[in-house]
């Protein structure tokens, strides 16, 4: 009887083909799923420290939750309606928007100017670029304490300088507009350098060929800045504006440290929305439910601004992509 045996070479080829197919399958899985594995730690941590507190805050806002008594009865949207009927909430929101406008407008203008200067051929570029970021490293509490002394009503250095030039003393802690200007100055001191580096990174990404063509056409530095640089970094400018708006809605440290009481002034002339939130949760009322309602109202405002940011950025990008070139 004949015994049929398999050629060892064929067995080896079969095993090699199986191993090759398995390796190709692993390589395909790696290319498909490894990017998700790389970014998953961020989303896991964000879910723990971001989404869970957000959902838990929504749960608390639906209850009569007290700091001392703990969880109470389910009240639905009563906390929201109560907060919206409070004059202090609207005062805090008005002060927040006022401080934001007084700080963000000059902040963006100064940041654009500094970024344009740092983008030029300067000596010791790294030194100057790191220098504009130093105020951002300073603790906001320290900034608040220092600027509260600089803007003191009686013995502040700002009033002393104004007196030299013949301007009478300004009541920085008593007048509404003056207090907002002082706090906006603190915000500008901390965040201008940060926004400068973001705009600088956008300016460095602008193709150099555009500037060379502008020089050939006879455009000067100012013309190049407004006709080439600004249009090319418009999405980044919008991003900076929107993030400044979001940060302005959450401003807390600077106004709280502007005086010793931390209440936003005797008449609440510089009390912000987050300071009102803090007062509801840890002040006399100690109502976590109402404080959570304020937090969710601010969150919804931020969501609306984010949608506006996405819409404007997409529209500007589409406009830039379809802009017809000038015929020569």
Q: What are phi and psi of 287, to 5 degrees?
A: -105, 100
**Which tens digit of pLDDT belongs to each residue from 239-281?**
888 888 888 888 888 898 888 887 888 888 989 999 999 888 8
Tell whether the model's pLDDT for residue 7 goes beyond 80: no
Tell me the average pLDDT across 27-45. 80
Tell whether the model's pLDDT for residue 162 goes beyond 60: yes
86-to-53, 80, 92, 94, 215 alpha-carbon distances in Å: 25, 10, 10, 13, 59
247-to-27, 114, 302, 305, 308 alpha-carbon distances in Å: 43, 21, 10, 12, 16
Specify the long-range contacts of residues 314-322, CB closer than 8 Å, at least 24 apart. 316/234, 316/235, 316/238, 317/235, 320/231, 320/234
Domain boundaries, the chain: 1-61, 84-321
CA distance 312 to 305: 10
**Which tens digit of pLDDT belongs to each residue from 295-318?**
999 888 878 877 876 777 667 655
CA distance 231 to 220: 16
Residue ranges with strand state E in the chain: none
Name the CATH architecture for the domain at 84-321: Orthogonal Bundle (1.10)
**Which tens digit of pLDDT belongs to each residue from 187-219?**
999 889 899 999 998 988 888 888 888 888 787
178-to-115, 175, 281 alpha-carbon distances in Å: 29, 5, 28
């Amino acid at each position: 009887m004949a015994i049929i045996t398999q050629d060892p070479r064929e067995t080896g080829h079969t095993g090699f083909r199986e191993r090759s197919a398995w390796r190709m399958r692993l390589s395909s899985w790696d290319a498909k799923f490894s990017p998700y594995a790389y970014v998953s730690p961020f989303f896991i941590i964000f879910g723990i420290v971001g989404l869970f507190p957000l959902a838990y805050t929504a749960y608390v806002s639906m209850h009569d939750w007290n700091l001392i008594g703990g969880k109470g009865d389910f009240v639905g949207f009563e906390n929201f309606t109560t907060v919206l009927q409070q004059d202090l909430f609207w005062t805090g929101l008005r002060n927040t928007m006022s401080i934001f406008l007084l700080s963000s407008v000059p902040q963006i203008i100064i940041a654009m100017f500094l970024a344009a200067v740092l983008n030029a051929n300067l000596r010791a570029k790294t030194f100057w670029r790191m220098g504009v970021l130093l105020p951002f490293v300073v603790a906001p509490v320290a900034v608040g304490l220092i600027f509260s002394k600089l803007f003191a009503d009686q013995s502040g250095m700002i009033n002393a300088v104004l007196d030299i030039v013949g301007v009478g003393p300004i009541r920085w802690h008593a007048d509404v507009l003056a207090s907002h200007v002082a706090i906006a100055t603190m915000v500008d001191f901390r965040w201008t350098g940060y926004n400068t580096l973001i705009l600088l990174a956008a300016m460095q990404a602008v193709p150099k060929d555009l500037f060379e063509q502008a020089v050939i056409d006879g455009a000067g530095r100012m013309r190049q800045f407004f006709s080439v640089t600004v249009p090319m970094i418009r999405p980044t400018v919008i991003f900076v504006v929107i993030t400044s708006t979001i940060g302005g809605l959450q401003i807390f440290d600077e106004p709280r440290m502007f005086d010793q009481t931390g209440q936003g002034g005797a008449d609440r002339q510089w009390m912000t929305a987050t300071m009102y939130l803090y007062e509801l949760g840890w002040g006399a009322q100690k109502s976590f439910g109402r404080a959570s309602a304020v937090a969710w109202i601010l969150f919804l405002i931020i969501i609306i601004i984010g949608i506006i940011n996405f819409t404007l950025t997409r529209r500007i990008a589409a406009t830039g992509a379809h802009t017809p070139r000038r015929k020569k």
